[in-house]
Structure 1
Amino acid sequence: MLPQDLPSQDRLTVLHVSQPVDGGIARVVADLVRSQVAAGLRVVVAAPPGGTLHAEAAVAGAEVVLWSARGTLGTTLSGRRRLTRLVRRTGPHLVHAHGPRAGYTARMVLRGRVPTVHQPHCWPFEAVGGLAARIWERYAARWTDRVLCVSEAQRRRGATAGVTGRWVVIPNGVDLRRFSPAGDDARAALREALPALRDTVPAGAPLVVCVARLCPQKGQSTLLRAWPEVAAAVPGARLALVGDGPDRAALGRAAPPGVVFAGAAEGAAAWYRAADLVVVPSRWEGMALVPLEAMACGRPVVLSDVGGARECLPADAVDDCLVPPGDPAALARAVTALLADPDRRTALGERLADHVRMAHDVQRTAGAVLNLYRELLAVPPVLTATRAGR
């Protein structure tokens, strides 16, 4: 059993529990940690080894501890026991769980005794499909003070699946200091500097970049099916797949000419700036970070019309940027239209960059999360957006 009264602390303590340790979820957690440490909170991050999250959280000023829950959605008894001991040791005033496994395990352990925010990022039933995942999310919702969705589409998807939560929607944001526009000179220099491009992409060749884990969710197979049509319409065009994952071998076998497998990258900003166009052909998302990051770098994007995609774009860019998921022909048409029109690409990139600055600054996102914590903890308004990361 957990203690009913939390130990006394000089500062409010927030425990972030995350089962994913890399990709977009790790970047979201790291950005939140930076803002919360700057706002004066004591922040603890519990996550499995590997990935980038531990290092980024530690650099941001969090206390980092190892924790993992093996098995489907982290339902193993050992994972719960480890988290119970961790909660007792760290004494959080609030727990913020990220991802299905961490979210389910944390709520099973806490059972409402500590204010709990669950941020699924992606619903597990979208990934694994099955009734079991829906039942788990419905069951755990009873011990959730807020279900934090990154888009209204994600909230609707959860409600349609029968998850009854006290919802809050806070769109993802990006660090505008790390992701900022770069001009043509920077694009050319980066193509020379990135080893995967230096010897494979001729100077001036149209370059499409897809940054994502190589897995079914991210839809690279659709992009590869679309690529021959693009290459036929835009001679010399190249496609760079940036990332690694379980589908690497299968995608390599299916890849037509003109495709470069760049492998995992430590930072994505250089790839966005090297690109003429960034494509995000996902099969499902909550609200993907990649299009926001690319847009912040001033690059036009083409993305599947899945959860959060429509909400991350300005209304006047939807027709240029969105395509149905899993539709290679529509994807090829959208990519070809933008590659063939440099002036249109430039104007669209500028418009998208302005939109991200206005609507998806990570400081705005972090401030909204801090205000959510204030509401749940009923503390004075000392956790403000102006203090977060400034």
Structure 2
Amino acid sequence: MRHSPGPRILHVSRPVEGGVAQVVTDLARAQAATGADVHVACPDEGMLPRVWDTADGGVRGHPWTASRSPGPQLAAEVRDLARVIARVRPALVHAHSAKAGLAARLALRGRVPTVFQPHAWSFEAVGGVTAPLTRCWERRAARWTDRIVCVSEAEWITGRRAGVTGAYTVIPNGVDVARFAPGRRSEARRRLLPDSFARAPLVVCVGRLCRQKGQDVLLRAWAAVAEALPGARLVLVGDGPDAAGLRDLADTTVTFAGATDDTACWYRAADVVVLPSRWEGMALAPLEAMACGRPVVVTDVDGARESLPPADRAHALVPPSDPATLARALLALLRDGPLRAELGRRGRRHVLDHHDARRTASAIDAVYRELLGPAPTTYPATAKYRECTTT
């Protein structure tokens, strides 16, 4: 008996690196595995196009020329995306992040069921006269949006407070709990770091080197950590526009590892993982780190509180842009091995229970079914994982 094909879905994304690109990659692959006809439109650069380069991935790609920010080129970008949409003829378009949400909704204007996922609101990322303009756009664009998907309750509240009305669904981010699983710290360090790091207290920050992720705040905090705990080391994993300026702030206890596809190994090498963001929807890096059994310290921005086990918030949450409090939180964990181990165990269990990527894919599928009405799909279990020791 033949099964009817799943719906034709077009994901549109301007971020081609980092957390948004990973969310789109995981979601597209999960949907393709259930039989959906999945397409992705994005610039032909960075990590995201790899989702259609994989021979057995079942995802079809469509290069879309688009810059990171709106500007004089926007009209041409909208026309280019409209041509992609005309070729694909999707049953539903799912636009990810601000730029894709802007271009897709201008191209479609409600003619095709449209899901918009902000992954942190655009008006949080800008200041001056630009902020009210972006708020005004999001309010107007809601009329061309069948569903706004927020990755946290806090992100939903932020949107509502800004006057963005419409139909919302909150679906927390998820991670691949097979790929991000505990492993031996010593083994990870041997693979990644010189011998001098073997026993060093090690803090790792994974994220794009940009203002949003707050590595400048971390480096100001790190001076106090390094002074109080000689021998401690900090590794920044990632690349981005602020790399040169951050290097100017760093001392010899800080290592810039650059971008990598194997972030899981860096999490396993760490004693503590930190993400001092200025704004988020719900960051992936802390979820990935907890899935690897590592304690985290994060700033109390949208999604952070919801991503943590409630019992861990006293140890893991700090105010944004507060180097002194961040330094104290890092020192407290670096000095307390049993606490780190307990937080790591609780974090792993929390991610398994609440942030498995299969749970996220199933929830997105439910939104699609509300809009399109196809039969439900079943997301297959990921490969079995083996819990490893973390010594």
Q: If the TM-score is normalised by the length of the shorter chain, which range does it land in?
A: over 0.9
- The 3 A distance-change label for structure 1 pair 245 and 177 is same
Residue aligning to 1:286:
281
Which of 195, 201, 212 aligns to 2:207? It is: 212
**Contact 2:5-2:35 within 8 A present in 1 as well:** no
Cα offset, 1:365, TM superposition: 0.4
Q: TM-score, normalised by structure 2?
A: 0.92
Instruction: Write out per-residue CA displacement over residues 287-319 of structure 1, whole angstroms, 9 at most, x where no aligned residue.
Output: 000000000000000000001000001111100
- Are residue 351 (structure 1) and residue 346 (structure 2) matched? yes
Residue aligning to 2:119:
121
**Aligned partner letter, 1:103:** G
Instruction: Write out per-residue CA displacement over residues 134-192 of structure 1, whole angstroms, 9 at most, x where no aligned residue.
Output: 1111111100000000001001111111111211000000001100011xxx2112212
**Contact 1:35-1:389 within 8 A present in 2 as well:** no
Look up the SS of the partner of 2:321 in the other structure.
coil
Residue aligning to 2:59:
62
Residue aligning to 1:234:
229
Q: TM-score, normalised by structure 1?
A: 0.93
- The 3 A distance-change label for structure 1 pair 374 and 191 is same
Which of 290, 295, 308 aligns to 2:290? It is: 295
**Contact 2:154-2:303 within 8 A present in 1 as well:** yes
Unmatched segments (≥5 aa) in structure 1: 1-8
Where do residues 227-376 of structure 1 align in structure 2 (5 Å cutoff)? 227-376=222-371
The 4+ residue runs of structure 1 with deviation greater than 6 A are none
Look up the SS of the partner of 1:204 in the other structure.
coil
**Contact 2:209-2:243 within 8 A present in 1 as well:** yes
CA distance in 1, matches of 2:115, 2:297: 32
Residue aligning to 2:44:
49
Look up the SS of the partner of 2:230 in the other structure.
coil
**Contact 1:208-1:238 within 8 A present in 2 as well:** yes
CA distance in 2, matches of 1:233, 1:10: 61
CA distance in 2, matches of 1:249, 1:80: 33
**Contact 2:178-2:382 within 8 A present in 1 as well:** no
CA distance in 2, matches of 1:136, 1:316: 39
Cα offset, 1:323, TM superposition: 0.3
Instruction: Write out per-residue CA displacement over residues 246-297 of structure 1, whole angstroms, 9 at most, x where no aligned residue.
Output: 1111111111331111111122001000001000100000000000000000
- The 3 A distance-change label for structure 1 pair 127 and 192 is same
C-alpha RMSD of matched pairs (Å): 1.6
Instruction: Write out per-residue CA displacement over residues 318-377 of structure 1, whole angstroms, 9 at most, x where no aligned residue.
Output: 001000000011001100000001111111111111111111000000000011111110
**Contact 2:116-2:148 within 8 A present in 1 as well:** yes
Alignment length (residue pairs): 374
Cα offset, 1:244, TM superposition: 0.9
- The 3 A distance-change label for structure 1 pair 11 and 367 is closer
Unmatched segments (≥5 aa) in structure 2: 384-391
Q: Percent identity?
A: 56
**Contact 2:5-2:36 within 8 A present in 1 as well:** no
